[in-house]
């Protein structure tokens, strides 16, 4: 049956999260020590690994840790500050061999030879692994659905350990507890999406272009969904926060363009703005309305919970278009 | 009735921001468009993150600081690129020009007050050149016979009262700033609070003589304010 292998990988995501939690907890503890003493962290990704990097970049400052920004490895050399203040880097990479990621390390160390580099990897023994001070390795290797879930777990484990080292043990404990609950919530959301996402998939499949509006908390999951949807189905996606959408992008909509809104109940004005120009709004959130996930995860773990359900939605769209994602050329 | 209780001329002194034009809307739109422009010029930053950082710099360094965008980009650990800054500055100024329009019925209100014989003055704590730039762009500069711009609230009110030589009760200060109401009240001036803009939900320590949402409402309430 078409798409069965891809479906299997999506359904496996909650189990991957549990495995990552068990495998990466100890290395994350050691690696976090290198981060906690630094002033600024560059959370770097390459292609789809920018999405878990984005999750870490957003959470680090909120747990008492150093300031942080997420960056694409391709941009890093060009945009790194001339004199970064006691920087560190966390680099997410599936193969550990991407030229941009290796260049990023070289550039960072050129500016500050003492800057520690932590890599979150899908392949042990790679060049990036050897060049890093610490490696958090999840050895499943890149599949069709990549490593968003385990890499996001790695990032959140790092954040929890940084919180502990920053003298916020309660925050660390709470983040850790949320992480442990995430696989179950993700499984529940997946189960719901399996039975209710068909109508949403039909609406998305009608257009070659999809706007995705996501609150900042869930944005890494929105980015992951958009990337996979484009790769599998060829539908082009434009991801924006509600603020960005309301400031500019809703004015670019044409009648009939689908707009996928994540957590629509948090930003009701997005629906009104999108419908002003005739767009079709599809809501995915705890209560739907199109894809009710039945769970309302806190912001820290929301991307982990949303991502598998959204990947399933992307698969359904792809199948409606008559494309077999199992047969498509692997991009990674 | 343009005269106060002592038969002398009554003066209306107008603040500029959120009184004569929608300053809060202008600044927020201009900052948002500047952030979009900087990202479109290649800056690898998230819209919400960069906008929050710009707003933080504005809050910390004040609106008249000249390097908001540079500081925001540096605070994100990124290289300050002159091309990106220029893109932001252009977008900011283009938006500013588009939104720098008098609020509805401001012309009519000023004309009405002037025709009734009141004195009209400007009184704003902002940077003098910037305040005049706004008033000239708004096309309102010919309405105001006198202006006190640039000094902080107490000094400006003191100068205005001394130069006009009027009893403070014959001076009405129109402002959207709660601290502006407090300061003018301390001098015994009458106050009109315009509930608009970024401070709209904040209360002044001293109650204003009247409160309005838009400045055009004052023309109809001028007499009752002076009698009160």
Q: Are residues B108 and B150 in the same domain?
A: yes
Please give the structure tokens belonging to residue A329. Answer: 């050329």
Beta bridge partners of A260: A212, A282
From the number of C-beta atoms within 10 Å of its C-beta (0-12, 13-18, 19+), residue A315 rates as buried
Q: Are residues B218 and B172 in the same domain?
A: yes
CB proximity list for B127: less than 8 A, separation 6 or greater: B64, B150
CATH 1.20.200.10 fits A184-320, yes or no: no
Q: Answer whether residue B5 is part of any domain.
A: no
Q: Are residues B126 and B220 in the same domain?
A: yes
Q: Are residues B205 and B192 in the same domain?
A: yes
Q: Which CATH number belongs to the domain containing residue B77 in this structure?
A: 1.10.150.520
Beta B171-175 vs A40-45: how paired, if at all? unpaired
Query: Which pLDDT value is given to residue B4?
Result: 55
Chain B contact for A195 (CB, 8 A cutoff)? no
Q: Which CATH number belongs to the domain containing residue B157 in this structure?
A: 3.40.50.1000
Closest CA to A147 of A24, A299, A255, A293: A24
Chain B contact for A252 (CB, 8 A cutoff)? no
Q: Are residues B81 and B123 in the same domain?
A: no
- Choosing from B70, B99, B128, the residue where a domain stops is B99
pTM over 0.90: no
Closest CA to A313 of A253, A225, A241: A225
Query: CA of A232: how far to CAs of A16, A200, A225, A315, in Å?
Result: 21, 17, 10, 8
Contact A69 B43 (CB under 8 A): no
Considering the segment(s) A4-167 as one domain, its CATH architecture is: 3-Layer(aba) Sandwich (3.40)
Beta carbons of A126 and A103 less than 8 angstroms apart: no
Maximum pairwise Cα distance, chain B? 64
Closest CA to A162 of A301, A11, A36, A7: A36
pLDDT beyond 70 at A331? no
Q: Report the distance separating Cα A331 and Cα A89, nearest Å.
A: 26
Q: Are residues B167 and B183 in the same domain?
A: yes
Please give the structure tokens belonging to residue B179. Answer: 């601290």
Which residue in the block uniquely carries the two structure tokens 């949403």? A200
Same fold, A4-167 and A184-320: yes
Q: Which domain holds residue B197?
A: 11-21+101-227
Residue numbers in B near A85 (CB within 8 A)? 77
pLDDT beyond 60 at A155? yes
Q: Are residues B125 and B205 in the same domain?
A: yes
Model confidence pLDDT, tens digit, residues B44-89 = 999 999 999 999 999 999 888 889 999 999 999 999 999 999 999 9
pLDDT beyond 60 at B174? yes
The whole-number average pLDDT for the span B136-142 is 95
pLDDT beyond 80 at B7? no
Using CA coordinates, name the residue in chain A closest to B74.
Answer: A81
Q: Are residues B109 and B174 in the same domain?
A: yes
Candidate from B32, B74, B77 with C-beta closest to A87: B77
Query: Which pLDDT value is given to residue A286?
Result: 92
Beta B190-194 vs B210-212: how paired, if at all? parallel
Q: Are residues B133 and B90 in the same domain?
A: no
pLDDT beyond 90 at B136? yes
Contact B78 A80 (CB under 8 A): yes
Q: Are residues B156 and B216 in the same domain?
A: yes
Instruction: Assign A330 a pLDDT band (cuts: 50, 70, 90).
Output: very low
Query: Which pLDDT value is given to residue B139?
Result: 95
Model confidence pLDDT, tens digit, residues A229-287 = 999 999 999 999 999 999 888 888 888 999 999 999 988 999 999 998 899 999 999 98
Determine how many CB atoms are found less than 10 A away from the CB of residue B202.
Answer: 10
- Choosing from B69, B99, B129, the residue where a domain stops is B99
Model confidence pLDDT, tens digit, residues A11-65 = 999 999 999 999 999 999 999 999 988 999 999 999 999 999 999 999 998 888 8
Query: Which pLDDT value is given to residue A328?
Result: 62
| pLDDT averaged over every residue in chain A | 92
Determine how many CB atoms are found less than 10 A away from the CB of residue B129.
Answer: 11
Query: Which pLDDT value is given to residue A84?
Result: 87
Using CA coordinates, name the residue in chain A closest to B34.
Answer: A247
ipTM, two decimals, is 0.71
Q: Answer whether residue B6 is part of any domain.
A: no
Sequence spans of domains, chain A: 4-167, 184-320
- DSSP 3-state of A143: coil
Element (H, E) at A262: strand A258-262
Model confidence pLDDT, tens digit, residues B183-209 = 999 999 999 999 988 888 899 999 999
Residue numbers in B near A72 (CB within 8 A)? 44
- DSSP 3-state of A59: helix
Instruction: Reply yes or no: is the peptide bond before residue A289 cis, omega within 30 of 0.
Output: yes
Q: Answer whether residue B125 is part of any domain.
A: yes
- Choosing from B99, B126, B159, the residue where a domain stops is B99
Distance from CA of B153 to the nearest CA of A (A): 34
Query: Which pLDDT value is given to residue A141?
Result: 55
Number of domains in chain B: 2
pLDDT beyond 70 at B169? yes
Q: Are residues B214 and B112 in the same domain?
A: yes
- DSSP 3-state of A42: strand
Model confidence pLDDT, tens digit, residues A87-112 = 999 999 999 999 999 999 999 999 99
pLDDT beyond 60 at B128? yes
- Report the share of chain B in percent with pLDDT over 90: 80
């Amino acid at each position: 049956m078409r798409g069965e292998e891809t479906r299997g990988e999506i359904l496996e995501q909650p189990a991957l999260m549990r495995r990552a939690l068990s495998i990466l907890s100890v290395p994350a503890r050691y690696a976090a020590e290198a981060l906690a003493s630094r002033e600024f962290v560059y959370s770097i990704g390459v292609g789809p690994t920018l999405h878990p990097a984005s999750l870490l970049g957003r959470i680090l400052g909120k747990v008492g840790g150093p300031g942080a920004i997420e960056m694409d490895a391709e941009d890093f050399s060009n945009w790194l500050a001339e004199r970064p203040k006691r920087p560190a880097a966390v680099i997410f990479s599936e193969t550990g061999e991407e030229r941009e990621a290796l260049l990023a390390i070289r550039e960072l160390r050129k500016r500050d030879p003492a800057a520690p580099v932590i890599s979150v990897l899908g392949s042990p023994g790679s060049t990036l692994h050897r060049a890093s001070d610490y490696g958090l390795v999840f050895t499943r290797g890149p599949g069709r659905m990549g490593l968003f879930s385990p890499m996001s777990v790695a990032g959140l484990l790092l954040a929890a350990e940084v919180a502990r080292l920053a003298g916020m043990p309660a925050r660390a404990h709470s983040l850790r507890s949320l992480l442990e609950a995430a696989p179950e919530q993700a499984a529940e959301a997946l189960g719901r999406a399996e039975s209710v996402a068909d109508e949403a998939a039909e609406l998305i499949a009608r257009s070659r272009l999809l706007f995705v509006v996501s609150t900042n908390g869930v944005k890494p999951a929105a980015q992951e969904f958009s990337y996979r949807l484009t790769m599998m189905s060829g539908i082009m996606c434009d991801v924006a926060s509600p603020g960005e959408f309301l400031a500019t992008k809703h004015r670019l909509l044409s009648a009939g363009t689908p707009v996928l809104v994540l957590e629509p109940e948090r930003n009701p004005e997005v629906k009104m703005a999108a419908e002003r120009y005739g767009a079709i709004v599809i809501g995915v959130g705890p209560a739907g309305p199109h894809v009710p996930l039945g769970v309302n995860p806190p912001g820290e773990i929301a991307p982990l919970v949303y991502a598998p359900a959204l990947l399933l939605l992307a698969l359904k769209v792809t199948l409606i278009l008559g494309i077999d994602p199992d047969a498509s050329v692997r991009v990674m | 009735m343009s005269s106060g209780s002592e038969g002398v001329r009554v003066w209306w002194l107008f603040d500029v921001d959120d009184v004569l034009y929608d300053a809060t809307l202008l600044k927020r739109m201009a900052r948002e468009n500047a952030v979009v422009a900087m990202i479109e010029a290649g800056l690898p930053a998230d819209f919400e993150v960069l906008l929050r950082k710009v707003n933080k710099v504005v809050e910390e360094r004040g609106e008249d600081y000249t390097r908001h965008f540079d500081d925001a980009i540096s605070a994100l650990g990124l290289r300050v690129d002159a091309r990106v800054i220029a893109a932001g500055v252009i977008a900011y100024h283009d938006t500013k020009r588009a939104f720098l329009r008098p609020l509805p019925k401001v012309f009519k209100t000023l004309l009405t007050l002037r025709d009734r014989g009141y004195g009209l003055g400007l009184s704003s704590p902002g940077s003098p050149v910037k305040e005049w730039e706004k008033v000239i762009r708004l096309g309102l500069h010919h309405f105001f016979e006198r202006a006190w711009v640039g000094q902080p609230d107490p000094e400006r009110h003191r100068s205005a009262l001394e130069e006009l030589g009027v009893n403070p009760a014959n001076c009405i200060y129109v402002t959207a700033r709660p601290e502006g109401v407090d300061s003018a009240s301390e001098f015994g001036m009458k106050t009109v609070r315009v509930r608009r803009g970024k401070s709209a939900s904040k209360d002044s320590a001293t109650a204003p003589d009247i409160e309005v949402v838009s400045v055009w409402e004052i023309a109809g309430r001028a007499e009752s304010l002076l009698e009160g």
